[in-house]
Each structure stands twice: as C-alpha cells, then as structure tokens.
C-alpha cells in the first residue's frame, strides 16, 4: 500500500515540480517511508513509499531507465516472480524489486505485459521514445487507480484527493453516481465527480498526445471447464492453488497478521498461513471483532476454536457499542466518496488495533463466497437436465442441514437468520426450482403483486429517489442494462459474479480505510489462479450433500476444527449496527430526514424517507433491530442516505 501520482501534459506544456509535489502532499499518509518525485519537460511522476517486502526497502521509485528512456512509478506486489525471472533475464532475484519485474515485462511484451503479471498492482510507465504513458491495474482491482483526462492533461493518483491538487479539475458532482449509491448499485468506471474516473480492474490505458486507448486485458473464459478423474483430484488441486495463493502473499519484511472472523474463509486463510509460517518459525498474529452482547453477531465460539489449535497470538476489538457514524468524517476524508459498508466505523477502530500492534501486512478471507461460489442455481441445473433423483436428494440434504441448525433461530434476534433457518423442503423447492424456471416476463408481472402482498422490499427500489431527479437522470436506462439477461444456470451465475459485480469497489474501500494506518491488506481468495480454477470446476464440487463451498470444506478438513469447517450458518452482523445507529445517532437521523441543511431533497423523496425512518424506529419494539425483511431494507436505505448527507455536508455541497 504505497501511493502513486502522475501528470502528463499532452499538449507538450511543461509540468512544474510544484504541481506533482502538491499531489504527493495530499497522499503523505501513504508514504511513511519516503516520498519521491521525478519531473522532466511535460511529464512528472510521484511515489509515496510504504515498505512491505524486503525488496521494497531498497526500492527507488520513480525509477528512470536511462538506457531505454522509460520511467516507472508503481504500487505493486508481483507474485509470479520465480516464473518471470528466467524469461526476463533477471538474476539475484531476492534483491530485485517488483517494479523492476514490471518494467522488464514492458520492455519484452509492450502493452501486453499486464497479461503476464500475477499479483496486486497499479503502475504507470512513461515511454519517452513513443511519447506515451502506459498504465495498468491488476486483475481484480486490489490497487486503486483514479485519473483525469482532457485534451491537454492526463493525471492519475492512488486517491481522488491528490487529483484535486490540480486547479483545472472540477469538484462537480456526478449525479448518476449519486443515484446509483442510493440504490446500492455499483459502477466500476465512474466516481462521484464528473471529471474523475476509475481505471477498471483488469484494464490498461495508453495515452499519447492524440489518442487514448482503454482496453481490457483479462476476463474469465466463459466456456472454460476442468474435468478431473475423481473428487480427490479436484480437492488436491484446489489445496495446491489455495496454499500458493496464501504463501505468495506472506512475502513481507514485517510481522504478518490475519483477520479472523471465525467464518470458513478467514479461518482457512489463517490456518493455512499458520502452517506455512510455522515452517519458518514466525509469529502468527490474529485480529478479530467481537460482539458479546449480540448472540447473532458473536463469533467468539468459532474464533476460539481456531485459536485453540495453538500458535496464534490473538487480539480482539469489542464492538457492541460503536456507532456506525463514529469517525465518519475521518473515513470520508480517507475514501473521498460516500461508501456503503456499514461496519466501517468498527473497521476504523479495528485497523487502529492492528496498527498499534506493529503489523503492516494483513491477510483476509475477503469474498471466498464469490470466488468459490455457493453453487447458486445448482437446483435449477438439475431440474432442467431432468436429474430428478439428484435434485431431490440435494433438496433433502439441504433441508436436513437447515433442520439440524434450526435451534439457532429460536433465540435469534435476526430476521435474516430466522428467515434462513425456517425454510422447509417445500420452501426450497419453490425458491430454488420453481421460481427460477418461471419465464422472466411473467416474473416481472408477478413480482410487484408478491411484494405488495407480503410487504417485502428490495434494495434498488427506485421509490427512495426524488421523482424529478429520476426522470431527468439516466438511472432507469442504466438499471435496465445491468439487470438484463439474468443468469439461469449455476455457471452463468458464477460468471456474472465477476462480470456484473465490480469487486474493485469494495477493495478500494478496504484500501482507503487501511491507508491511514499504514496497513496493506492482501486477499488470497482473489488470486487469479484460484478464481479461474473455481469457475471451471463442476458445480457439484461447489455444492454437494447440502453444503455450499464443498471443495473448500473438504480441502480444509486437516487444517480447521470440525465445528468451523462444517458450520452451516453465518452470524448476522446487522443487529448491532441497526440498534446503534438509532441508539447513538437519533438526533442526526432526524436532522437528515428533515433535510435541515437542504442537501438531499434534489435526490431523495423525503416522504418515502420519512416513512422508512418511522418504520425503522418501530422495529424490534423500538430498538431499531428489524423484525421484517422490509425493516432490513429500510435500515439500509436510511444508512445510504445518511452517508450521502454527511458527505455533502462535509464537502460543502449544496443542491
């Protein structure tokens, strides 16, 4: 987690050292180990250094290769160094920084170099001979990259705030993005500012005085399939790839930490990481968030099961009484935009705990669900292939698993847990088989009737939006496009997870809230090799005997306690967030609902907002913990509006 900046005057005008220095100064928190500049003629590059690997301690960035007239700045960790070194002619590799691998790859393969790299990276190369700047971002978008482009100037940075150091860049709001935020819909190219764009994950951009070429260099092969001889072969190959995904992210000059939630994903990363590190006799630090007053959110039982396997040094943050609005201005200052993750006030304090324990590198279990897939729509696959025996067996296995865990719903405050565990065999048959095979045109007719009858809501309900704003924007057209062609088969569903869900946005948010604490978070499940393998294997390796993520569970049997490896239900972290927002922020909420500062009336239907707030207040006997699904939706809608309001207020925007 270093930082990069750059300016290229396409018209040939000179760049002053003061311009790039102002950009670097905005990102000083990213460079506790140094800040450097390179400036010549119409190009300037900047770098802010956070040492993470042994090689980075001696790394000099920006780096100029005078022989080939190339200059690079990069925030990168390259994971396939061993494979690349002989191909690129690199020797003494233990001393070669990651940026050197990128530069040599560019020399060999030109603008196709990104295809050859594995790891997390955002970089820019000034190619003086060809008078162009070439930039690229890693396959999933772990490393952030924002840019501004006009006929005169191309500028880029790791954070938006650095771009605002240039006076020509406007703060004008991108109103389509505001609407998407209120509907909890993601977009991987735009920002909340019209002048500033995201470089999407798995894309490169090449800029010269006359042309701009934005291109995708990687995506999943929709048709890829991996066929092996036995279940054991699949499990062994998964374990090999997963272990390597963890191992290559352990390269560090500092103590390693692991986020440990007690869930299957983070526990798998921590236990495999411990196995690798113990071979080197390094310490293994874990960091957890606990809720002792909320049984539905308390993961301490599962966390302790992992800790008790030995050789972990555990640290915990108790989050029962943290308001979702604590430190919100600091977080918005770090993120530069509104955000949708309601746990961020907790994560802010969590990151401080990590920082205070001297840890710079943290491995997470981020989004194992998406990468491995829960086998969504598998029942549909079995139904349309007329595999009735297997279909009913899997429905029975799943129903039995639910029944065996139903005891948790009796004491639960969480409507999500209750809804999940109160499903019967016939509920599953309707939800997983009958509804998916209903033609889409008929669903559109039936859905409003069903929602009205059952008083349910959904995120993305446009009723929260001001009707004039909705009419004048392109939101309806945009939503129709992204919601078209819904997935049917489990393979299509898995593909859409990566085609239609910009994972980079959550990763950018994680990066933004980690940067002030000099923490680099690494995500083994987002390893490109693991993503491609999990996508290509048969769905029955992802869902089997009523268990989702089956292949991960089987691979982890020798690493995890049984109670963690084969746990069926996740804890729900919503109740403390929902209660604490009302408990600690009632005055602020009423100010927002009444729009006392006239900030949101342009975007939000205030009558609908008031109705959502009234319903939210009445939930759970007045404590704000929803006792209906629509109550959950109301609480989330209220949160999204609140964050937008505070951002507009902090930024001194008036509608």
pLDDT at 451: 47
Same fold, 3-216 and 231-372+499-565: no
pLDDT mean over 237-254: 98
Q: Phi and psi for 158 in degrees, rounded to 5?
A: -75, -20
For helices 475-482 and 175-182, the axis angle rounded to 10 degrees is: 60
Residue located via tokens 């897939």:
373
Q: Are 615 and 630 in contact (CB under 8 A)?
A: yes
Q: Please give the full DSSP string across 69-101, using - where no structure is assigned.
A: TEEEEEEEEES-HHHHHHHHT--SGGG--HHHH
Please give the Cα distance from 337 to 202 (Å, whole number): 22
Cβ-count burial of 81 within 10 angstroms (0-12 exposed, 13-18 middle, 19+ buried)? Answer: buried
Joined tokens for residue 580: 């604490």
Please give the Cα distance from 562 to 309 (Å, whole number): 11
Count of Cβ atoms closer than 10 Å to residue 276 Cβ:
16
Distance from the first to the final alpha carbon of the chain: 35
Place 444 in a pLDDT band, splitting at 50, 70 and 90.
low
Average pLDDT, the chain: 91
Residues 6+ apart with CB under 8 A from 220: 495, 498, 499, 531, 532, 535
98 is in an annotated binding site: yes
pLDDT at 89: 96
For helices 503-514 and 328-335, the axis angle rounded to 10 degrees is: 120
Please give the Cα distance from 311 to 290 (Å, whole number): 20
pLDDT of 369 > 70? The answer is yes
Residues 6+ apart with CB under 8 A from 147: 135, 154, 155, 156, 157, 163, 196, 197, 199, 205
pLDDT of 37 > 60? The answer is yes
pLDDT of 36 > 50? The answer is yes
Q: What percent of the chain has pLDDT over 70?
A: 93
3-state secondary structure 233-276: HHHHHHHHHHHHHHHHHHCCCCCEEEECCCCHHHHHHHHHHHHH
Return left, alpha or beta for 460; rule: phi > 0 is left, psi -120 to 50 is alpha, else beta.
left
Cα dihedral 594, 595, 597, 600 in deg (nearest 10) = 180
Q: What is the pLDDT of residues 290-307, one digit of tens each?
A: 999 998 899 999 999 999
Q: Phi and psi for 89 in degrees, rounded to 5?
A: 70, 30
CATH assignment of 3-216?
Answer: 3.60.20.10
Please give the Cα distance from 388 to 438 (Å, whole number): 18
Fold of 231-372+499-565: Rossmann fold (3.40.50)
Place 454 in a pLDDT band, splitting at 50, 70 and 90.
very low
Q: What is the pLDDT of residues 553-566, one digit of tens each?
A: 999 999 999 999 99
Q: How many CA atoms lie within 13 A of 559 on its CB side?
A: 21
pLDDT of 421 > 90? The answer is no
Please give the Cα distance from 128 to 238 (Å, whole number): 44
Please give the Cα distance from 74 to 144 (Å, whole number): 11
pLDDT of 485 > 70? The answer is no
Q: What percent of the chain has pLDDT over 90?
A: 73
Place 453 in a pLDDT band, splitting at 50, 70 and 90.
very low
Place 441 in a pLDDT band, splitting at 50, 70 and 90.
low
Q: What is the pLDDT of residues 153-206, one digit of tens each?
A: 999 999 999 999 999 999 999 999 999 999 988 889 999 999 999 999 999 999
Q: Are 2 and 511 in contact (CB under 8 A)?
A: no
Residues 6+ apart with CB under 8 A from 522: 77, 120, 142, 249, 361, 362, 363, 364
Cβ-count burial of 627 within 10 angstroms (0-12 exposed, 13-18 middle, 19+ buried)? Answer: middle
Please give the Cα distance from 495 to 221 (Å, whole number): 9
* Residue among 567, 560, 497 nearest 526 (CA): 497
Q: What is the domain partition of the chain in residue ranges?
A: 3-216, 231-372+499-565, 464-486+573-655
Residue located via tokens 């978008």:
141
Instruction: List the single range of 104-108, 207-211, 433-437, 538-542 with lowest mean pLDDT.
Output: 433-437
| CB neighbour burial string for 252-270, b if at least 16 within 10 angstroms, e if fewer | beeebbbbbbbbbbbbbbb
More confident residue, 654 or 599: 599
User: 388 by DSSP, 3-state: which?
Assistant: helix
User: 46 by DSSP, 3-state: which?
Assistant: strand
Q: Are 212 and 149 in contact (CB under 8 A)?
A: yes
Please give the Cα distance from 589 to 581 (Å, whole number): 8
Q: Are 11 and 209 in contact (CB under 8 A)?
A: yes
pLDDT of 452 > 60? The answer is no
Residue located via tokens 């490169």:
204
Dihedral sign for Cα atoms in the order 389, 390, 391, 396: positive
Place 530 in a pLDDT band, splitting at 50, 70 and 90.
very high
Place 537 in a pLDDT band, splitting at 50, 70 and 90.
very high
């Amino acid at each position: 987690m270093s930082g990069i900046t750059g300016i290229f005057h396409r018209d040939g005008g000179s760049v002053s050292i003061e311009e790039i220095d102002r950009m670097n100064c905005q990102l000083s928190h990213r460079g506790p180990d140094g800040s450097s500049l390179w400036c010549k003629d119409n190009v300037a590059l900047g770098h802010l250094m956070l040492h993470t690997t042994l090689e980075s301690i001696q790394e000099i960035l920006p780096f100029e290769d005078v022989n080939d007239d190339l200059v690079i700045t990069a925030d990168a960790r390259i994971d396939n160094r061993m494979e690349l070194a002989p191909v690129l002619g690199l020797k003494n590799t233990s001393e070669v920084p990651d940026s050197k691998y990128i530069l040599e790859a560019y020399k060999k393969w030109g603008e196709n170099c990104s295809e050859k790299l594995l790891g997390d990276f955002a970089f820019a190369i000034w190619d003086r001979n060809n008078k162009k700047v070439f930039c690229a971002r890693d396959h999933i978008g772990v490393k952030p990259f924002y840019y501004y482009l006009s006929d005169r100037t191309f500028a880029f940075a790791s954070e938006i705030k650095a771009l605002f150091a240039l006076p020509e860049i406007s703060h004008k709001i991108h109103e389509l993005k505001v609407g998407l935020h209120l509907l909890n819909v993601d977009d991987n190219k735009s920002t909340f500012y019209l002048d500033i764009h995201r470089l999407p994950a798995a894309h490169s951009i090449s800029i010269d005085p006359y042309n701009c070429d934005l291109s995708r260099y990687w995506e999943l092969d929709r048709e890829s399939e991996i066929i092996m001889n036995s279940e054991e072969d699949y499990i062994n190959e998964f374990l090999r790839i997963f272990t390597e995904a963890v191992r290559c992210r352990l390269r560090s000059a500092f103590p390693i930490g692991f986020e440990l939630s007690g869930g299957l994903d983070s526990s798998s990363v921590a236990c495999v990481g411990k196995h690798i590190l113990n071979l080197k006799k390094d310490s293994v630090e874990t960091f957890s968030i606990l809720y002792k007053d909320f049984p539905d959110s308390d993961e301490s039982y599962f966390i302790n099961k992992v800790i008790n396997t030995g050789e972990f040094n555990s640290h915990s943050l108790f989050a029962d009484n943290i308001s979702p609005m604590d430190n919100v201005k600091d977080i918005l200052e770090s993120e530069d935009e509104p955000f949708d993750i309601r746990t961020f006030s907790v994560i802010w304090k969590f990151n401080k705990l990590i920082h205070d324990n001297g840890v710079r590198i943290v491995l997470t279990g981020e989004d194992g669900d998406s990468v491995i897939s829960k086998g969504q729509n598998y029942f549909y696959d079995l139904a349309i292939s007329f595999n009735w025996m297997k279909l009913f067996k899997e429905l029975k296995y799943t129903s039995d698993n639910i029944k065996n865990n139903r005891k948790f719903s009796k004491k639960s405050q969480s409507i999500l847990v209750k809804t999940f565990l109160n499903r019967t065999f016939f509920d599953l048959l309707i939800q997983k088989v009958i509804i998916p095979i209903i033609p889409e045109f008929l669903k559109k007719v039936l859905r409003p009737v069903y929602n009205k009858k059952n008083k349910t809501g959904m995120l993305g309900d446009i009723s929260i939006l001001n009707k004039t704003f909705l009419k004048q924007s392109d939101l309806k057209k945009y939503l129709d496009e992204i919601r078209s062609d819904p997935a049917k088969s489990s393979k299509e569903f898995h593909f859409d997870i990566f085609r239609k869900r910009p994972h980079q946005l959550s990763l950018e948010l994680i990066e933004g809230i980690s940067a002030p604490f000099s923490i680099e978070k690494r995500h083994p499940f987002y390893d490109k090799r693991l993503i491609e393998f999990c996508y290509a294997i048969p769905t029955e390796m992802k869902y089997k005997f009523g268990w989702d993520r089956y292949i991960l569970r089987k691979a982890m049997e020798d690493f995890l306690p049984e109670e963690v490896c084969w746990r069926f239900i996740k804890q729900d972290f919503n109740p403390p967030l929902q209660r604490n927002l009302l408990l600690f922020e009632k005055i602020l909420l009423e100010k927002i609902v009444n729009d006392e500062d006239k900030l949101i009336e342009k975007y939000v239907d205030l009558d609908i907002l008031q109705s959502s707030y009234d319903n939210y207040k009445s939930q759970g006997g007045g404590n704000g913990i929803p006792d209906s699904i629509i109550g959950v939706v109301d609480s989330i809608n209220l949160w999204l509006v609140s964050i937008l309001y505070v951002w507009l207020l902090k930024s001194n925007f008036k509608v």
